Amino acid sequence: MKSKIIVARPIFEETLDRLREHFDVTDNQADVAWTKTSWTQALAQHAGALTTGSDPVDAEVLKACPSLKAVANMAVGYNNFDVPAMTAKGVQASNTPDVLTETTADFGFALLMATARRIAESEHYLRRGEWTQWRYDMFAGAEVHGSTIGILGMGRIGQGIARRAAHGFGMKVIYHNRSRLSAESEAECKATYVSKEGLLKTADHVMLVLPYSAASHHTIGAAELSQMKPSATLVNIARGGIVDDAALALALREKRIAAAGLDVFEGEPKVHPDLLTVPNVVLTPHIASSSIPTRLAMANLAADNLISYFTQGKSITPLNTVTA
């Protein structure tokens, strides 16, 4: 008899077909919105799940799901998982690293360019019919080429951004990370390790690419924003909660920094209302990895993680060690 799995959100039909070869699949192609209670009740009927970053698997959920054996997140981030609690319950957790690195780094740079060069702000101006003549200072933004980029979080995606910055735009790259890169990796990225305070004070553009955890909550708050240059930009493609969105909105309104680009938000899909009223911010709905080839690769790796666990006792890209 096939094990029962649930797919929490719509995914590619071809990925569902692969899963159906191995499992009894409950899908959600209709994209029914779960409450935590309804999600827990549905999950309790299954041995495995394919989730996105919005589907919680925490101690409370696990207590109600004694049959659960493996959960595969279709994301590189996994702050929807309580990994220690999953390990304690013998539930395999997995994510989808590597397959989205280059696409996400591309988007990070696109968001940086849009933020620095005031693309969204100027487009809105044009669409409102306000453009009547050219001016020398019309939407004059910040330089990107030759400037200094400061990267907080230097994992795979951070290094991808650093390579683009250094080799493509001749930028000076500084970074801060929990651990310093090897000399070889620093040389490849042309990156210099600095303190967090030094990065904030020096960078023309600050890029956030660090994972979310209790320790990284509000890594950028009012105090950190006050250390940045008034001419600096801030880009967050990491996770909501790393930035204090209320403090950022106020800093933008008061022009204590020049602009921001955000792909992630605290409490998303809700967005702090103050961010919707300031003009000097570019907002996108968590789409940094959203190219068709990359999203398909993510879905297929998540599927492979489930297939591998139930056939071989271990996922391909596990987040914890459990005994099947």
Please write the tens of the pLDDT for every residue from 68-82. 999 999 999 898 999
Q: How confident is the model at residue 323 (pLDDT cuts 50, 70, 90)?
A: confident
From the number of C-beta atoms within 10 Å of its C-beta (0-12, 13-18, 19+), residue 249 rates as: buried
Which one of the listed residues 163, 217, 218, 268 is annotated catalytic? 268
pLDDT tens-place string over residues 303-320: 999 999 999 999 999 999
| 187: three-class secondary structure by DSSP | helix
* Per-residue burial over 304-322, b = 16 or more CB atoms within 10 Å of its CB, e = otherwise: bbbbbbbeeebbbbbbbeb
**Does the pLDDT at position 188 exceed 70?**
yes
Q: Say whether 117 is catalytic.
A: no
Is 21 catalytic? The answer is no
Give the class (CATH, top level) of 101-283. Answer: alpha beta
Confidence at residue 152, expressed as pLDDT on a 0 to 100 scale:
98
Q: What is the mean pLDDT of residues 85-110?
A: 96
176 is catalytic: no
DSSP state of 103: H
Does residue 269 have a cis bond before it (omega within 30 degrees)? Answer: yes
Task: Give pLDDT, residue 53.
Answer: 84
Domain with CATH 3.40.50.720 in the chain: 3-97+292-312, 101-283
What tens digit of pLDDT does each residue of 286-295 get? 999 999 999 9
Under CATH, what is the fold of the domain 3-97+292-312? Rossmann fold (3.40.50)
pLDDT in tens, 36-65: 999 999 999 999 999 998 899 999 999 999
Residue-level pLDDT at 161:
98
Cβ proximity of 207 and 155 under 8 Å: no
- 126's CB contacts (< 8 A; 6+ apart) are none
Among 9, 164, 239, 295, the active-site one is 239
Residue-level pLDDT at 77: 87
Please pick, among 46, 117, 164, 286, the residue that the annotation labels catalytic: 286
Confidence grade of residue 324 (pLDDT, cut at 50, 70, 90): low
For 12, 248, 299, the CA distances from 292, given in Å and listed in that order, are 10, 32, 11
Give the pLDDT confidence score for residue 54 in this predicted structure. 86
Nearest to 236 by CA among 260, 218, 262: 262
For residue 102, pLDDT beyond 70: yes
For the chain, what percent of residues have pLDDT higher than 90?
96
d(CA 126, CA 99): 37
Separation of alpha carbons 135 and 167, rounded Å: 33
Contact 59, 82 (CB under 8 A): yes
From residue 308, alpha-carbon distances to 94, 254, 302 in Å are 11, 52, 10
Q: What does the mean pLDDT of the chain come to?
A: 96
